[in-house]
Structures are given as structure tokens and as C-alpha cells.
Amino acid sequence: MPSTRRSPVVVRLALPAVLSLALAASTLSGCTASAQGQGADDRPVVLTTFTVLADVAQNVAGDHLRVESITKAGAEIHGYEPTPRDIAKASEADLILDNGLNLESWFGQFVESVDVPHVVVSDGVEPLDITEDITEDASTGKPNPHAWMSPVNVQVYVDNMVEAFGDLDPAHADEFEANGAAYQAELQEVQDELVDGLSALPEHQRALVTCEGAFSYLARDAGLTERYIWPVNAEQQATPQQITSAIEFVRANDVPAVFCESTVSDKPMRQVVDATGAAFGGTLYVDSLSEPDGPVPTYLDLIRYDTETIVGALTGSAS
């Protein structure tokens, strides 16, 4: 009898010891998995072609998807050449988002080399065509790809993302929808700020002269006349005729300030400045966000920053 009474005691002692060993082992293996970094992160991966789309997508995705951009902050995005690493990374993604409207000239070939679904986020946006008001080139008559420079268009991008993310991760579809609606309200706010801010410009200062013709949508929304040296970033840009034409426009319209985009050289615009006496109004952000510690870490920052820079330089109130 005494022995049978003792044995349950032994068992009771032994069991917690085995359990704690098992716990220690599983904690250890848990540590190893997260030490390997992404191994522990099994969220679906969404890749975008450039940083602006990644930021918009992140706002819709919340914490449920891993969103990354193929091109990095500051990169030239029109004629980007994907690296073997980009292709390897893309082939492991669950979804790729591109802007469309001929923005990414490299993208067609890129998606052919990977077996991953992709969604064109500008679907449903009414495109503005590139007109030939300077010199006709290969882009004339094609849609202007910079549709995101109108926050109202980005509301359409968000609708497309909500739908694509809901298909990718149906368990969180309601959250994507709620995130999308909240972000669309912020887009409306920044759109109103843009239109209000630029409507303060006097009639004779309502001309926006930039390097690339990237502001067609913003100029339409804000009632500005847009002029640029070249229509879309390409290998052939800033020809002597294009620069002469910009100089003539600035002189004829007494344009107080001109601008250039962050992802291209501002040298040609400096020539316009030297020839006309217009001020260099500053660097505008279009095709890329800045690094996180720069002036435009998010898309909403980008629109606000450009609006302030344009208004400040054209009215002479810039610091």
C-alpha cells in the first residue's frame, strides 16, 4: 500500500519536469525561427513597382500584408532595369501591383519572367493624354502615366487595392475595406488642401513649369497651365529645342519660378533659370517618396510638400 501511495507522487513530480523541458524546447525553436527574420513572417507579400504605390498599399493593408517596393526611394522608375535579385524576390511574392498607363516600361517583360498575379491599380482612372504642345515625340498621344498626382485618382487606386487584397486574404477583407475608406477620406482632405492652396495664386502666376510633364493631373485639378521641358522621362530628354521652348514660354508669360522633379537632373532647368531670370522654385516629388527621414516619407506628405513648394515659389513667399 505505501508503495502505491508513493508512486502517484513520483508521477506528479515527473510530469511538470517533462512539460517544462518540452516548453523550453519549443521556446528555443521559436527563437530560432524569429532570429531567421522573415521565416517567422507568413503574411502574404505584396510587391509594388515604386515607393508611392507601396505607401498607399500599406495604408490599405494595415498589418495583414507585407508590402514592399521593387524600386527604392529616389530611383528613376520609368526606365528602371530590374536586377536578378528583383526577379527572385518577385517570384516569391503573392501579388504585384503596377501603376499601368505605360509608366513602367520594364514591367511587361518583368512579369513575364515570374509566375505571380498582378493588378493594374490605375484601372478605372480617366487618363489625360500627352499633348504635342512642345515638340512631338514618341509619347505624344499616349496617356500621361502620372495619374497619382491627383489624390482623387488615388481613391480609385485604393478601390482596386481593396478588391485585390480581399481576394488575396479573404479573412481580412472587411479590414481592408475599412482601411481603404479611412484613407480615401484623408485623400479627399489633401485634395481639398491642394485645390485651396493653389487657387490662392493670382491669375498671372498660374503656370507650373517643370522638367518632366508629370503634373498634368494636378494642374487640371488646380486650374494651372502646365509646361515642361520633356513629357516623360526617357533616354532622349532635354533636347536644345525643348529647352529653348521652355525659355520662350517663361519669358512670354513672365513666369516667376520654375521647378524640377527629384528623380532627374535639374541642370536643364538651371539653363532656363539662367536665360530668363526666373527663380528656381525647388525640387518637387512625383515618381518617388524620399527616405523616411526626408521631406516626403509618405504620399500624403508628397502632395502637401509639392503644393506648399509651388505656392511658396510662385507667390514669392518661400523662405
CB 286, min distance to Zn ion, A: 6
Interface ranges with Zn ion (CB under 5 A):
214, 287
**What is the spatial distance between Cα 289 and Cα 298, in angstroms, rounded to a whole number?**
6
Using the minimum distance from each CB to Zn ion, give the nearer residue, 216 or 245: 216
Phi-psi category of residue 62: left, alpha or beta, with phi > 0 → left and psi -120 to 50 → alpha: left
Measured on CA atoms in the order 69, 70, 75, 76, is the torsion positive or negative? negative
CB 272, min distance to Zn ion, A: 19
Using the minimum distance from each CB to Zn ion, give the nearer residue, 82 or 213: 213
Using the minimum distance from each CB to Zn ion, give the nearer residue, 179 or 262: 262
Using the minimum distance from each CB to Zn ion, give the nearer residue, 86 or 287: 287
Using the minimum distance from each CB to Zn ion, give the nearer residue, 118 or 146: 146
Helix, coil or strand: residue 230: strand
Q: How far does Cα 105 stand from its chain's mean position?
A: 16
CB 51, min distance to Zn ion, A: 13
Please compute, for residue 217, the number of CA atoms within 13 A of its CA located in the half-sphere on the CB side.
20
Unique residue bearing C-alpha cell 502505491: 4
CB 255, min distance to Zn ion, A: 21
Using the minimum distance from each CB to Zn ion, give the nearer residue, 104 or 287: 287
Helix, coil or strand: residue 53: helix
CB 233, min distance to Zn ion, A: 5
> Which residue has the CB atom at the shortest distance from Zn ion?
287
The set of cell numbers assigned to 8 is 502517484
Residue 105 CB-density burial (10 A; 0-12 exposed, 13-18 middle, 19+ buried): middle
**What is the spatial distance between Cα 315 and Cα 285, in angstroms, rounded to a whole number?**
20
The set of cell numbers assigned to 60 is 490599405
Cβ atoms within 10 Å of 158's Cβ, excluding its own:
23
CB 120, min distance to Zn ion, A: 17
